[in-house]
Amino acid sequence: MKTYSTRQINTKENIVYTCREATIDDAQSFIDLAKAIFTTTPYTLTSPNEFKPTLEDQQNRIQQYQKSDSALLLLIEDEGKIVGNIEFSAHQKKRIQHQGEFGMGILEEYRNKGIGSILVYQLLTWAQRNPKIEKVCLSVFENNQAAIHLYQKFGFMEEGRQHKAIKQYDGNYIDLINMYRYV
């Protein structure tokens, strides 16, 4: 039940983005995208020095997404340049296979331009058509108000918190908010 076809999406500002599934040919571009995101936002669990996949590692990871009918890795492009991604995986254990989690990232210069909305909408549309997926979940830093607002706009609700889940480099703690939406 893997059905996502490439889409051209026109924004209110008349910018056309291409949203498509990742292929193994995107492996190096995806690594470069992730490194750029990890160095420009405080809202990721992975720090830049922890992210060290090889090209082969990333190709294998993309292939796993391609093989799964309950996982999706979408990329968004601006004139051929990959500027963001969203990835969703359902859980593997039988009793929780009906739900999964997603994460996304957008290059700094493309944030606050509607790309997050495009990616979340595309993911939810795919999930609604997937008979295996009933619940889409995510975790977000409590101080990432822009992301929380985006998720609420799409009907996500807070399900709980992981108190002091994130320890900042300065020693301060941040809660992770768990959010969900049924599809």
Query: What is the pLDDT, as a whole number, of residue 13?
Result: 84
Residue 139 maps to a domain: no
CATH number at residue 111: 3.40.630.30
Residue 93 maps to a domain: yes
Residue 124 maps to a domain: yes
Query: What is the pLDDT, as a whole number, of residue 2?
Result: 59
Number of domains in the chain: 1
Contact 65, 20 (CB under 8 A): no
Tell me the pTM.
Answer: 0.95
Averaged pLDDT of the chain: 95
CA distance 55 to 176: 31
Residue 116 maps to a domain: yes
Residue 26 maps to a domain: yes
Instruction: Identify the domain containing residue 110 by its residue range.
Output: 7-133
Residue 32 maps to a domain: yes
Q: Tell me: the pLDDT tens digits for 106-128?
A: 999 999 999 999 999 999 999 99
Residue 153 maps to a domain: no
Distance linking the first and last C-alpha atoms of the chain: 16
Residue 79 maps to a domain: yes
Q: CB atoms < 10 A from the CB of 178, how many?
A: 18
pLDDT beyond 60 at 1: no
Q: Which range has the top average pLDDT, 10-19, 40-49, 153-162?
A: 153-162
Query: What is the pLDDT, as a whole number, of residue 114?
Result: 93
- Report the percent of the chain where pLDDT is more than 90: 92
For helices 27-40 and 55-67, give the axis angle rounded to 10 degrees.
100
